[in-house]
Amino acid sequence: MQVKERGTTPESVPVRGLRRITVEEEKLRREKIGLLRQELAKHRQAARQIEHQLRALGDPEATRSAGWVNWSAVYDDLPARFSSREVAAIAGVGPAHVASVVHAWKTQGKVAATGKRGQYKKVTRRDAGGRE
């Protein structure tokens, strides 16, 4: 009959090749984490695109469940000249929210009013240089 010594753990017993296997397991774990993060990013992007399409179609459920709007993507989707209604249609938010975002864009120098109510244009670097 064998008696185990107290205080010994499997880590304290030297086993040939165990360290190499442990290092390989850690490497595989890191690779798996990387792959899963990439896959998650793809699925999140697909979900954002579907939410965007639903909001653009005026689906009220998509507007309520979206929670947040990627305003940089909305800005990128806008034409050179746009109206606040177009922003609302793309983002799926109300006019008050659009007004606050457009005001922030004006403060940041991204857009300028065209003179017509609710009409704006994107400001290019050339425009921002004082030509306006």
The reported pLDDT for the residue numbered 65 is 58
Q: What pairing do the DSSP bridges indicate for beta strands 111-113 and 81-83?
A: unpaired
Helix (H) / strand (E) element for 121: namely strand 119-122
What confidence score (pLDDT) does residue 50 get?
A: 84
pLDDT at position 54: 80
Return averaged pLDDT per consecutive 10 residues of the chain, 132 residues in all: 57 81 94 94 84 75 67 88 89 86 94 92 72 44
CB within 8 Å of 93: residues ≥ 6 apart = 63, 69
